Amino acid sequence: MELRPASYFVLASLIDGPLHGYAISMRAVELSEGGVKLTAGTLYGALDRMESRGLVEIDSEETVDGRLRRYYRLTTSGHAALEQEAARLAAAARVVQIRGASPKPAGGAA
């Protein structure tokens, strides 16, 4: 299963343990070096989809300043999906690294 970049970084955010939504969003920005910025709607939509697919689950809930804070964690299936996607991305990168990223001379065979 191929993961969208946002989903990939949401799952990667949870490798070290459960986090609440805002912390997931901040970790995704950090891990993607600013490449993935999640709005609340995108984040919670992705978490809902991943929860329904069994990739994440609710770890715990607490009330902070009158608002519910829900913590999510990776499931075994979530770990497997993340590892598979990392392997797929690494294999795709190797294609370019092996062939070389420098341009070929004009008029030559590629």
Compute CA 2 distance to the chain's CA centroid, rounded to the nearest angstrom. 11
To 5 degrees, how large is the angle CA 57–CA 61–CA 66? 145
What structural domains and CATH numbers belong to the chain? 5-89 (1.10.10.10)
Q: Which residue has the higher pLDDT, 2 or 72?
A: 72
Q: Which tokens in the block code for residue 105?
A: 């001379």
What integer pLDDT is reported at residue 107 of this predicted model?
62
pLDDT band with cut points at 50, 70 and 90 for residue 98: confident
Does this model's pTM top 0.95? no
The residue whose two tokens read 């519910």 is 68
34-45 pLDDT, tens digit each: 999 999 999 999
